[in-house]
Amino acid sequence: MFCLQMENSGASPLKDIPVGLDAFSEEEYYSQSTLLKEFTEIPTIEKAWTLKSNTGGSQVMFSISQPNLLENKKRRYVSYSHIAKERDDSVQFHWAAFPIEMWTASLMVPSPSGSKLLIVRNAESDSPTRFEIWSSSQVEKEFHVPSSIHGSVYSDGWFEGISWNSDETLIAYVAEEPVSAKPAFTCVGDKKGNCPDKDCNNWKGQGDWEEGWGEAYAGKRLPKLFVININSGEVRAVDGIEKSVSVGQVIWSPSAKDSLQYLVFVGWRSGTRKFGIKYCTNRPCSLYAVRAPSFRSEPEQSGTDANLSAVLLTESISSTFFPRFSPDGKFLVFLASRSAVDSGAHNATDSLHRIDWSIDAEPRPHNKIVDVVPVVMCAEDGSFPGLYCSNILSNPWISNGRTMVLSSAWGSTLVILTVDVLSGDVSRISPSTSEFSWDVLTLDGDNIIAVCSSPVDVPEIKYGCLVTNASDYTRWNWLDISSPITKCSEKVRSLLSSKEFCIMPVPVRDFSENLTKGACKPYEAIFASSKSKKHDACDPLIVVLHGGPHCVSLSSFSKSSAFLCSLGFSLLLVSYRGSLGFGEEALQSLPGRVGTQDVNDVLAAVDHVIDMGLADPSKIAAVGISHGGFLTTHLIGQAPDKFAAAAARNPVCNLGLMVGTTDIPDWCYFEAFGSEAKSTFTAAPSAEHLALFYDKSPISHVSKVKAPTLMLLGAQDLRVPITDGLQYARALKENGAEVKVMMFPDDIHELDRPRTDFESFLNIGVWFEKYCS
pLDDT tens per residue, range 585-642? 999 999 999 999 999 999 999 999 999 999 999 999 999 999 999 999 999 999 999 9
CA distances from residue 186 to 200, 206, 250, 396 in whole angstroms, order as listed: 8, 14, 43, 57
> What's the pLDDT at 716?
97
> Residues 357-389, buried b or exposed e (16+ Cβ, 10 A)?
beeeeebeeebebeebbebbbbbeeeebbbbbb
Residue 717 is a catalytic residue: yes
Question: Residue 4: pLDDT above 50?
Answer: no
Is the distance from CB of 574 to CB of 549 less than 8 angstroms? no
Give the active site residue among 437, 553, 749, 757: 749
CA distances from residue 746 to 37, 648, 658, 743, 755 in whole angstroms, order as listed: 22, 18, 20, 9, 11
- CA distance linking residue 457 with residue 499, whole number of Å: 9
Choose among 302, 295, 270, 291: nearest CA to 362.
291
How does pLDDT run across 311-329, given as a tens digit for each residue?
A: 999 999 999 999 999 999 9
- CA distance linking residue 654 with residue 702, whole number of Å: 11
> Residues 296-322, buried b or exposed e (16+ Cβ, 10 A)?
eeeeeeeeeeeeeebbebbeebbbbbb
- CA distance linking residue 368 with residue 315, whole number of Å: 10
Strands (E) across 588-738 are located at 620-625, 645-649, 709-714
Choose among 16, 12, 21, 11: nearest CA to 1.
16
How does pLDDT run across 25-41, given as a tens digit for each residue?
A: 788 889 999 999 999 99
Task: Tell me the mean pLDDT in the region 132-151.
Answer: 95
- CA distance linking residue 48 with residue 59, whole number of Å: 10
DSSP secondary structure letters along 397-465:
B-TTSSEEEEEEEETTEEEEEEEETTT--EEE-S-TT--SEEEEEEEETTEEEEEEEETTEEEEEEEEE
Query: 649 — alpha (psi -120 to 50), left (phi > 0) or beta?
Result: beta
- CA distance linking residue 298 with residue 312, whole number of Å: 28
Residue 197 neighbours by CB distance under 10 Å? 11
Strand partners, 107: 120
> What's the pLDDT at 8?
38
Residue 358 phi, psi dihedral angles, 5° rounding: -120, 125
Residue 749 is a catalytic residue: yes
Considering only residues 511 and 217, tell me which one the structure prediction assigns the higher pLDDT: 217
CA distances from residue 667 to 96, 319, 545, 592, 743 in whole angstroms, order as listed: 48, 18, 19, 11, 25
Question: Residue 198: pLDDT above 60?
Answer: no
Percent of the chain topping pLDDT 90: 82
Choose among 433, 454, 414, 415: nearest CA to 552.
414
Eight-state DSSP code of residue 95: E
- CA distance linking residue 362 with residue 305, whole number of Å: 9
> What's the pLDDT at 86?
81
> What's the pLDDT at 184?
85
- CA distance linking residue 278 with residue 255, whole number of Å: 33
How does pLDDT run across 330-341, given as a tens digit for each residue?
A: 999 999 999 999
Angle at which helices 490-497 and 559-566 cross, to 10°? 70
How does pLDDT run across 248-280, given as a tens digit for each residue?
A: 999 999 987 767 899 999 999 987 889 999 999
| 3-class secondary structure, 552 | coil
> What's the pLDDT at 9?
39
> What's the pLDDT at 130?
97
Task: Tell me the mean pLDDT in the region 154-178.
Answer: 96
| 3-class secondary structure, 27 | helix
Residue 146 phi, psi dihedral angles, 5° rounding: -75, 160
Angle at which helices 559-566 and 23-40 cross, to 10°? 140
DSSP secondary structure letters along 289-325:
EEEPPP-SSSPPP-GGGG--PPEES-TT-S--EEEEE
Question: Residue 304: pLDDT above 50?
Answer: no
- pTM for this predicted structure: 0.94
> What's the pLDDT at 473?
82
Task: Tell me the mean pLDDT in the region 451-472.
Answer: 91
Give the active site residue among 530, 626, 697, 700: 626
How does pLDDT run across 700-753, given as a tens digit for each residue?
A: 999 999 999 999 999 999 999 999 999 999 999 999 999 999 999 999 999 999
The angle subtended at Cα 162 by Cα 157 and Cα 163, nearest 5°, is 135
Choose among 457, 539, 538: nearest CA to 499.
457
Residue 666 is a catalytic residue: no
Confidence of residue 191 (pLDDT cuts 50, 70, 90): low
Give the active site residue among 717, 724, 747, 757: 717
Considering only residues 654 and 13, tell me which one the structure prediction assigns the higher pLDDT: 654
**Rounded mean pLDDT of the chain?**
92
Least confident of 116-130, 156-170, 188-202: 188-202
